[in-house]
Every structure is written in C-alpha cells, then in structure tokens.
A and B are shown apart, each in its own frame.
Chain A
Amino acid sequence: MNSVIIKNLTKKYKNLLAVDNISFNIKKGEIFGLLGPNGAGKTTIINCITQLSTITNGTIKVNSYDTKENYLEARKELGLSPQELKFDHYFPIQDILIYQGGYFGIPIKESKARTYKLLKLFDLFEKRKKTPSQLSGGMLRRLSLAKSMMHNSNILILDEPTAALDVESRHLLWEYIKDLNKKGITIILTTHYIEEAENLCDTICIIQKGKIIKLEKKEKLIEDLSRNIIRVLLKDKTTLPEIIKKYNYEYKDNILQVHVNKINQTKILNTILKELDKKVINFTIEQDNLERIFRRLINEH
C-alpha cells in the first residue's frame, strides 16, 4: 500500500523548471530518502506534497487524499520539519507547540499533554518558557521535530533533519527516526549526508535538475551500482595475462587494482587468483558505498 502517490508532477517558477514531470510512489511504513545536490528539486517536491507550493501539473495523493481536491484531509496526514528553522518568535516554545496542536484541530487539554510529552522526549522541557531566539541551533532543530510530531501524523517529512546537529545528536536522532518508523510512520527524508540515507532509508530516490535519475531499494541500488575495488599485492612486477587486461584495472608498483561490480566480483576475483596464482602476496576488497555511487550518478547526469 502506498502512502504517497505522485503522478507526472511538474513545478515551474516563472522560467525555472524545478520539477520535471516526475512520478513515484512512497510505500506505507518505509523510510524514503530524497537525495540530490543543492537545487535538484528535493525541497520543491516536499513543498508540493505539503502544499507550501502550488503544483503546475500532475497530482499528489497522500494516503489516498488528493492534495488539491481534499486538501484539508491530506494535510492532516502530514507532519513537516522544514529545512529552514523559522519559528513564531512572539511566544515561548511550549506555546508554539500548543498552538501547533491547535492548528491541527487538537483540543487544548490534549495539545498541552502532547506538548509536555514531546518537550521531555526532545530534552527541551527545562527550556519550555524560553522563546526560540534563546535556544541553540541543535535545540531549534529538536523543537522543529517536536512541532512536526504534535498531531501524530501518519507521514513525517524531514527536510534535512540533522543539519546543524553535532555527531552525538545526529546519531540520537537517527535512533529516534528508526523508532518512529518501527511504529508504522512513513518517513520522507531529504539529506545531504549520504551516510544518513545509507543508515536510515529503505528506498532511495536520487534527483537532479528536477528529474529522477535513480529510484531503487537501497540494497538493490548499492548492489547494482556499486564499483568495488579488488586490490592485489603482487610479489614482483609481472606482465598481466590478457584476460585480466580486459577488466577495468590499474597496475602500478606491484599493486593491481580491478574495479568490479558486486555481481561479477567473485568471478573476477577467482580469475585473478587463478591466473596470477603464486605471484599474489595478499588481496583486499574495498567495498563501494552509497556516497561514491551517488557522486558517480550525479557526475554521469
């Protein structure tokens, strides 16, 4: 079952085509990663889903509610922690959260109870009477997350959620995102940290210039596109057999490096070991990662 269905989405800003006729689905209960360089169109897609931007063409359905025809119902399904940390600076943070609950139709008593629960959860309870301008960047990020969770939405959109967080806070947040996901909440995540996407996401969608250049399950994406390196240390300088020269290789200072993908890795390794046999001192396999795959894909497009 799909939480979000995007069909032929196009978004134009005057002369700029920010999103170019893209279609994809986000499955219920998954962590969906939107990756791409700056200006790729990630935030525009999120703004279209949350209705912060109008749609030039196409449709978006959120838990079967069309964001144009059933805009109020669609909004109830979504929680957003935006990239920019902008808050209502007139009020202390506890009031900001209570109001946020109210905007989503939660009665005041319930909204207060959720506020205190979330303030404690995000370690902000002691600061509840402070205004946003009195909080640090990390605290503001946590406040933004608490705000996005006030109405217990089924889908949580986190736009660069760990930006400005220190390493410890980032890892804590990752754990928290995983916990939320285990409770059945669908999470849409944009990030610049590929490590974050690799750690958290089930599905990865790579966007560039408003188009999807890759959309796969994370494991499959890594498996299909990874370029591992078999590094073989040889005893002395040897003329390589013709069969090895057919591979994508580099050979320098008795070190042979062969670039392989995961699928043919074992076969090639066996061939190398068989052909070079006793000339081999040792070998290592350097695993590719999502970050290198991401960079290659972006450069290729």
Chain B
Amino acid sequence: MNTKFISFLTLFKREFNRFFKVPNNTILPHLITTLFYFLIFGIAIGSRIKEVAGVDYLLFILPGLFVQNLINGSYSNPSGSLYVSRNFGNMSDILIAPISNLSLTLAYVIAGMLRGIVLALGTVLIALFFTTFSIENYPLLLIYIFLISFAFACMGVIIGLWAKTFDQLNIFINFVVTPLTFLGGVFYTTDIVPNFLATITKFNPIFYMINGTRYAMIGVKDGNVYIGLIFLIIITIILFYTTFTLIKKGYNLRT
C-alpha cells in the first residue's frame, strides 16, 4: 500500500475511532435528544397536528432531525478533535509526519462526515420505532447527505483551527447552526407560519438543505430543491477551498 495512503488512512482511522471511544459525548446525547423530539413533537404534540404537507407530522419532522444530526456530527467531530489536539494533545505528532496537506484536510473532513452519517442513520433507526417510510429518491438523498456533511465537516475544521477557547468552539453551533436549523423548517412548512417567519426561513441556507433532504426522503418539498442543491454545491466548494488553504498555510497549527 502506498505510504501516503497509509498516512491518510491512519489519521482518518484515528479520528473515526476517537468518537467511538467517547460515545457518551459524541453519539448518545444527540440520539437521546432526537428520541425526545420524536416523543414530544411527534407523538405528544404531533398527535394533535395529524398531517403537515400531506404527510404524518412525525414523518414530516424526520428529515429535519436527520439533517440536524448530520450537521451536528459532521461539524463537531473535526472542530472538537482539532481544538483538543492543538491545545492539549497530539497535533505535533501529526504535523511532523509526512502527511500531505490534502490528506490532512480530507482525513478530518471525511471522519467528520462519517460521524454525521452515523448520527443521521441513528435518527432513522429511532424513527422506525414510531413510523414506517420508504425513501423516495436515493441518488438525490445521497447527494444531499454528501454535500451537507462535507460542507459542515469543512466548517468544523475551520472553527477547530480558529477557536482559542471552548467558548469560541461552541459559538458557531450554538449561535448559528442551532437557531438556523430550528428556523429552517424542521418542524413547520412556510405556509403555516406567519409571513415574517416564512420570509426569514426562505433566506436561511439550512432551510434548503432540509427541504432537499425531505424531498429526497419522503417526497415532500416546500421550495425549489434544485436551487438549494446548486447553492449547497457552491457553499461546499467555497468551504473546502477555505479549509484546504488554512491547513496549507498552517493557520493556528504551525507557529
């Protein structure tokens, strides 16, 4: 096997194994929260709502929660790992090794994507206790999963490099991702909320991610799926370019 590939694979495996080492921090809380969403919004409140956009409410919220966990996992893995490695751990072990800048970038990004996908699949497994469904459009769903997880894993690397404190590390997820996810139509369609909220939602990039994923999963949409897809592709390219450039420059890695 090519030594460069072994280097990449080792770092990727290390990143992937790291989050399975600490499941109480990296996996279980997200899935437990998801379970409560299904219990409260799907069963307790959802039983009164019945249907939204022509589907059972519990099924309607599934794609949004799926995307929420996909984003959380993809973002948190590289951001947390890089922050801890830079400040308390093993970053110098990696930086002195003959791992190319591209391999370094991809190892963090792909491991992040996989954590996001594990959490997203966990969401589907929990959902199957409450409802049944079949995927409407597999290729489109895979494209959305790839792009969303890739984009947010890149974002995770960027914040992981930038953050100097735990507080900074959580700023993006707490003050950007979480509010945008809740205002991105996880629990509602734009035609059942007041106009101002519908307008805010339509300007929210995460709305298009949830909308596209929902369409691919259960065939329900609340906006143009393909405009969202183009937008997502552009964002992913910009974020990857930024991530790679920062790694190449050794931003907050090499003094």
Contact = CB atoms under 8 A, between A and B. Distances in A.
Interface stretch (A101-109, A195-203, A215-223): A101-109
Interface in B1-15: 1-4, 6-7, 9-11, 13-14
B89 interface: yes
Interface in A82-135: 82, 86-91, 96, 99-100, 102-107
A50 B96 contact: yes
B255 A103 contact: no
Q: Give chain B's interface secondary structure class.
A: helix
A107 B88 CA distance: 27
Given A75-B98, A88-B93, A102-B7, A54 B250 contact: yes
B89 A87 contact: yes
A86 B7 contact: no
A102 B6 contact: yes
A80 interface: yes
Given A50-B96, A72-B98, A105-B98, A90 B22 contact: yes
Nearest to A72: B98
A186 to B, nearest CB: 16
Interface in A37-86: 47, 50-54, 72-73, 75-76, 78, 80, 82, 86
A141 interface: no
A72 B100 contact: yes
B84 to A, nearest CB: 8
A46 B97 CA distance: 15
B199 interface: no
A147 interface: yes
Interface size class of A (residues with CB under 8 A): 20 to 34
Contacts of B1: 107
Contacts of B4: 72, 105
Interface residues of B, number: 31
B254 interface: yes
Nearest to A76: B98
B94 A105 contact: no
A106 B98 contact: no
Nearest to A11: B255
A103 B93 contact: yes
B55 interface: no
B95 A52 contact: yes
B244 to A, nearest CB: 16
B97 A103 contact: yes
Contacts of A50: 96
Nearest to A13: B255
Given A102-B6, A103-B11, A105-B6, A52 B98 contact: no
Nearest to B94: A103
B22 to A, nearest CB: 7
A102 B9 contact: yes
Nearest to A84: B92
A78 B18 CA distance: 27
Given A51-B254, A102-B9, A107-B1, A90 B96 contact: no
A89 B88 contact: yes
A87 B90 contact: yes
A147 B93 contact: yes
Contacts of A54: 250, 254-255
A86 B100 CA distance: 22
B31 interface: no
B89 A103 contact: no
A104 B7 contact: yes
Contacts of A91: 14, 17-18, 21
B18 A90 contact: yes
Nearest to A99: B14
B99 interface: yes
B93 A100 contact: yes
Contacts of B13: 99, 102
Contacts of A87: 89-90
A47 B255 CA distance: 9
Interface string B72-102: 0000000000000100111011111111100
Contacts of B250: 54
Which of B3, B4, B85, B96 has most A Cβ within 10 Å? B96
Contacts of A89: 88-89
Given A52-B255, A87-B89, A102-B14, 8 more contacts: A53-B255, A75-B98, A87-B90, A88-B85, A90-B18, A99-B14, A102-B7, A103-B10
What are the 10 A-B residue pairs with the smallest beta carbon separation, nearest first? A105-B3, A102-B10, A103-B97, A88-B90, A72-B98, A75-B98, A53-B255, A105-B6, A50-B96, A76-B98
Interface of B: 1-4, 6-7, 9-11, 13-14, 17-18, 21-22, 85, 88-90, 92-100, 250, 254-255
18 contacts: A51-B96, A52-B95, A75-B96, A75-B97, A75-B98, A89-B88, A90-B22, A99-B10, A99-B13, A102-B10, A102-B14, A103-B11, A104-B3, A104-B97, A105-B6, A105-B7, A106-B3, A147-B93
